[in-house]
Amino acid sequence: MYEQEKKMLAEAAIKQVKNGMILGLGTGSTTRSFIDALGEWVKAGGEVQGVATSNETVEQAKRLNIPLLSLEEATHIDLVIDGIDQIDPRFRVLKGGGGALFREKVVALMSREILYLADASKFVHHLTGPLPVEIDAFARPYVERYLRDKQLDVTLREHDGQPFVTDGGHLILDVDLERVQDVRHLAQELKSLTGVLETGYFERQPDHVLTVEQGKVRQVA
Ligand code: 5RP
């Protein structure tokens, strides 16, 4: 349903790319459209280097001959372009629907600027979640119990009937936010737990957010 919007967002995002940039490349279906467009741009002679946030993005970039740098090789990142799961009116963001939250957050934190591409379905009044929480597998019973003691519903993310494993080899717990008043507070609390690597609550405000309204791309931040 939102495929056309994703293509429009990808075309608009390409206009923000300049020769010589080091780009953070996100993960997910929206970013996939953008990377396809970036592949065309590179084919036409554009020069960029990318830092990928997932193995899936590495594979796509390689197929399209987009030069990649590891995070260590990158002297800096000019701009990260990524999709999101939810964004509220204060531009607070949930990510991690594709399971790449940890690497996405590291790359976003290192980037000079952040551009999120968000089709209309991503805008919400309140972040309703779920909130993805990436954990070490050994700590799962501890973290689950902690959350259930707080009367929060928790689901271990699965893929093809098996626990979903992130590129870093961790598990993801999806936390229902229905009973949560303050997502920021919960995310901070979870970060202090042993065994929690990261949450999908993205604190850093984006510099730019593009969406599609009434058939046109609009910059809302
Ligand atoms: C992956 C993510 C994605 O950016 C997010 O889930 C949005 O995905 P899509 O563009 O497919 O809607 O955070 O970890």
Give the pLDDT confidence of 160-195 residue by residue, as tens digits: 999 999 999 999 999 999 999 999 999 999 999 999
Flag whether pLDDT at 1 surpasses 90: no
Confidence at residue 180, expressed as pLDDT on a 0 to 100 scale:
96
The torsion angles phi and psi of 10, rounded to 5 degrees, stand at: -65, -45
Nearest CA to ligand 1 atom 4: 83
- Terminal-residue alpha carbon distance, the chain: 24
Residue nearest to atom 1 of ligand 1 (CA): 98
pLDDT tens figures, 67-103: 999 999 999 999 999 999 999 999 999 999 999 999 9
Binding residues: 27-30, 82-85, 95-98, 122
Task: Quote the percentage of the chain above a pLDDT of 70.
Answer: 100
Q: What is the mean pLDDT of the chain?
A: 97
CA distance 171 to 46: 38
**Annotation: binding site for substrate:** 27-30, 82-85, 95-98, 122
Q: Are 209 and 1 in contact (CB under 8 A)?
A: no
How far, in Å, is the centroid of ligand 1 from the Cα of 26?
Answer: 8
Q: Report the residue among 35, 85, 115, 170 best suited for mutation to probe ligand 1: largest number of ligand atoms under 8 A from its CB.
A: 85
Residues shown for the chain: 221
- What tokens does 51 get? 């830092």
Note whether 83 and 117 are within 8 A (CB).
Answer: yes
> If you measure from the C-alpha of residue 131 to the centroid of ligand 1, how many angstroms do you get, rounded to a whole number?
13
What residues line ligand 1, using a CB cutoff of 6 Å?
Answer: 26-30, 82-85, 95-101, 104
- State both tokens at 63: 């197929």
**Ligand 1: distance of its center to the CA of 155 in Å?**
18
Q: Whose CA is nearest to atom 10 of ligand 1?
A: 30
Check residue 221 and give its pLDDT: 85
Instruction: Please state whether 161 falls in left (phi above 0), alpha (psi between -120 and 50) or beta.
Output: left
> Where is 11: in which H helix or E strand?
helix 3-14
Is 103 in a helix, a strand, or coil?
A: helix
Q: State the pLDDT confidence band at 2, using cuts at 50, 70 and 90.
A: confident
Residues designated as active site:
104
- Tell me which amino acid residue 113 is: E
Is the confidence at residue 14, as pLDDT, over 70?
yes
User: Cα separation of 195 and 37, whole Å?
Assistant: 38
Q: Which tokens belong to 210?
A: 């593009």
Cα distances (angstroms) measured from residue 64 to each of 98, 192, 217: 21, 40, 25
pTM: 0.96
pLDDT score recorded for residue 202 = 97
**pLDDT tier at 123 (50, 70, 90 boundaries)?**
very high
